[in-house]
Amino acid sequence: MNDILVLFPPQWRPTQPYLSLPYLTAFLRENGFKVKQIDVNAITYNLLLSAEMIKKAIDHVLERKRKFENKSYHTKNERQYLQTLRLAALQTENLLSSVDEAKEILRRNLEKFSSYDVFLRAYRDLERALRVVSAPFYPTKITLNSLSMKYSWASINDIMKAVKDEKENPFIQLFQTNLLHDIMDGRPTLIGISVVDFTQIIPAFTLANLIKKEAEYIKIVIGGSLFSHLAADSPQIKKLFDLIDFIIKFDGEVALRDLALTLEQSKRVDDVPNIIYKENNGRIKESKIQFVRDIDVLPFPVFDGFPMDFYFSPATILPILSSRGCYWGKCAYCIHKFSYGNLYRQRKITKVVEELSHQMSRYNTRYFSFNDEMISPKRADRLSKEIIKENLDIAWHMNARPEEGFTKDKLQTMFQAGCRIICWGLESYCQRVLNFMERGTKLETIKPVFEASTQAGIWNSTFLFFGFPTETREEAQKTIDFVLQNNDIIQSVGAGEFRLYRDSNVYYNPTKYEVSKIVMKKDQPLALWYEYKVKRGMHPKERLMILSTFIQRLKQQYEDFEFWHYIDREHMLIYLENKWHHNSQRQMRQMRARRRKLQSRIMNEEYQTIKPQIRNQLIWETPNNKPAIFIYDPCNGASWLVNAIEFTIIALCNGQNSINDIALKISKKYYLDKEKCSKDIQKFVKRLIENDLIHKMK
């Protein structure tokens, strides 16, 4: 049979493999196909953070910076580009050696990884390198968790432009130089590209375009949950078929197998399920939808061929699914149920545990991520008991909602079986709002569940959002108060704003949810969410203000905020299992205590006589005849754009000048009132302390 190649493009978090390719590969191999899988995302990050790529980027940044600074006039876009170049230039010091050490820590060195301050520095060094590597492709920006471009991933017109833009699309040259040869080496006749997030769309189609240019005969199929929402009658969709041949919606295993067989036999593809394709007459057609009803028939996913050494985790962490879909499936805001065809399909618990045992042995790991949308209390209990019965020594995390079935006994059993983190979908702590969003959660249940989980030793990570239609500020405040008053049983928090997703219940029933208008842009057929207006509830600025205020309150309330805010869930799992988080939390508490001590001196002593001293590692750049002044702290990778007065204050914070001295000098230089200037400097110095820029005060 002909060779099949399956690819997972950037951008996705490079901490562990994703499940889509391993499932496809296992199923196709079981059906007699020769399949090769490539995690292009992991390889891409390895290339971006290579010495060769960083050296090239540094040379480009410094050369372009010199060129732009010699110009007498800059357009608005050039000024913004110059700012990006300057920020990147500030971050090049000792970059190569720092990145090499950071990769060693995050990939292999468990001992150093266990120290949170070392981990955080390594993480920030990689982010620093990615800023430098991204700068030549301004305004494109790549981080460990995101990709932003000028082009909209939701617009097919923008996609068609982006795949040809060598100036702003870094993936064109990177794929051409480093990956295209390996892709073409096996001479595949069918290539599948799996896309699970919108940040992958432009890189995926960039890859498809390059492959088509190299070998037009290769059939390319693209699939993933995003494309399950795509309608075949969308006016612009025909353009995508200049880059690809097929789109797969919903379950991909049977569709890709049947497509491969049909193409091999040179038959028409009409009977292949779950595909969108272009007929010879140019008409776009969609085939019948079919699901794998019994997912126990699927073989265990295989991770063979994946570059395990490239993932940024010092221990291998593998994903696993015990079900597809959601057992509740009623939440008005959610689109995951649609992505699974509104079906909930469970695997036998014995099969799940058999897979855990198999993967433990095959890939020498004991860390697992359950990627189920949610696992019910009953199922979690049965799973845990089977793990204990089979004597598997593993650590894992899962998603759930706080419901009555999560009793003290069940949660203790789960901990005994290796459950270390539960990511709870809290969403709101207002019963009216929960009822309106059809969440199926009762307020009187939530706190007892969190208490029992904490007592069992499980880390409670919660997620919530503000702005569901009709939610008022007062109702949002109930959620805020609940979280802040229960930080002893809620260990970490993720928060966001409500999005009106395509194919959600709110989307299909706007009147029911008091949505007065959904703004759909005709030029963005791939959009997954839309702007909207509500008849009742908070307006966008109000939602954003509440969210921003809440994040600031979290920083104040949680002494270990900086620990869990920056660390990925997979990394947290390793920390918790090895009990390293206690040391990390202690480090955070000591740091916060030091800040408070310094700030209390500002408030309680005769602060005018205090002599603040900036950490001597701080560096800055003051471009000639330019209003922009950049402050960069290589200790934590942070950078700031400050004004002339703030820059002067920082320069005077040398341990020799008191705040009174600084105020006097600033007031004279800038013709300001000395008393007001002194108070403003006091506030500014407190901000410097909060950002760890003040080393000490004499």
Q: Quote the CA–CA distance of 582 and 571 in Å, as a whole number.
A: 14
b/e sequence 327-352, b meaning 16+ C-beta within 10 Å: ebbebbbbbebbbbbeebbbbebeeb
Token pair of 647, please? Answer: 């820059």
pLDDT on residue 347 = 97
CA distances to 25, 355, 467 from 531, rounded to whole Å, are 38, 42, 12
Indicate the SS3 state at residue 536.
coil
214 within 8 A of 184, measured Cβ to Cβ: yes
Q: Which residues pair with 620 in a beta bridge?
A: 631
The rounded distance, in Å, linking the Cα atoms of 397 and 178 is: 35
Is 360 buried (19+), middle (13-18) or exposed (0-12) by CB count in 10 A? middle
Q: How far apart are CA 76 and CA 87, in angstroms?
A: 17
Q: What is the DSSP string of 378-443?
A: HHHHHHHHHHHHTT---EEEEEE---TT--HHHHHHHHHTTEEEEEEEEE-S-HHHHHHTT----H
**Tokens representing residue 510 in the block:** 């706007």
- Please tell me the distance from the alpha carbon of residue 547 to that of residue 534, in angstroms, as a whole number: 18
What does the pLDDT read at residue 625?
A: 52
Q: How many helices (H) and strands (E) would you count in the chain?
A: 27, 25
* Positions of the chain with pLDDT under 70: 1-2, 232-233, 603-607, 616-617, 622-628, 635-638, 695
| Angle (nearest 5°) at CA 356 between 355 and 361 | 95
Q: What is the pLDDT of residue 438?
A: 97
Instruction: Work out whether the CA dihedral 179, 184, 186, 192 comes out positive or negative.
Output: positive
Q: How many angstroms separate the CA atoms of 323 and 326, rounded? A: 8
Q: Cis check for the bond before 16: say yes or no (omega within 30 of 0).
A: no
Number of CB atoms found within 10 A of residue 62's CB? 14
Amino acid at 96: L
CB contact at 8 A, 119 and 571: yes
Bridge partners of 633, per DSSP, are 638
- Tokens describing residue 688: 């410097």
Q: What is the pLDDT of residue 603?
A: 67
Query: Phi, psi (5° rounding) for residue 688?
Result: -65, -40
Give the CB-side neighbour count of residue 629, counting CA atoms within 13 A: 14
Rounded to an integer, what distance in angstroms lies between the CA atom of residue 386 and that of residue 349? Answer: 7
Residue 247 and residue 10: Cα distance in Å, rounded?
18
Cα–Cα distances in Å, from 397 out to 228, 303, 375, 563? 27, 20, 11, 18
Q: How many CA atoms lie within 13 A of 208 on its CB side?
A: 29
| The two structure tokens encoding residue 460 | 């409670």
The CA–CA distances, whole Å, from 356 to 200, 308, 315, 392, 568 equal 29, 18, 16, 8, 22
Strands of the 275-278 sheet, one edge to the other: 35-38, 4-7, 190-194, 219-223, 246-248, 275-278, 284-286
- Distance separating alpha carbons of residues 461 and 494, to the nearest angstrom: 8
Cis peptide before 139 (omega within 30 of 0): yes
| Structure tokens given for 362 | 């095959």
Q: Are 397 and 573 in contact (CB under 8 A)?
A: yes
Distance CA 378, CA 375 (A): 8
Q: How many CB atoms lie within 10 A of CB 672?
A: 15
Instruction: Write down the pLDDT at residue 515.
Output: 97
SS3 per-residue string spanning 411-425: HHHHHHCCEEEEEEE
DSSP conformational letter for 654: B
* Number of CB atoms found within 10 A of residue 445's CB: 15
CB 486 within 8 A of CB 450: yes
What are the b/e assignments for 164-176, b being 16+ CB within 10 Å? ebeebbbbbebbe
For residues 349 and 383, is the Cβ–Cβ distance under 8 A? Answer: yes
User: Are the CB atoms for 336 and 326 separated by under 8 Å?
Assistant: yes
Q: Give me the residue label for tokens 């357009």.
A: 75
- Token pair listed for 64: 């372009």
Structure letter (DSSP) for residue 240? G
Per DSSP, the three-state class of 284 is strand
Amino acid at the residue 125: D
Among residues 120, 96, 204, 119, the alpha carbon closest in space to that of 159 is found at 204
Return the structure tokens found at 389.
Answer: 């019965």
Nearest alpha-carbon partner for 267 in 275, 276, 258:
258
Identify the pLDDT of residue 185.
85
Q: Which residue has the tokens 């997912």?
A: 295
Q: What is the spatial distance between Cα 88 and Cα 81, in angstroms, rounded to a whole number? A: 11
Question: What is the rounded distance in angstroms from the CA atom of residue 377 to the CA atom of residue 385?
Answer: 12
Handedness of CA 398, 404, 408, 410 (dihedral sign): negative
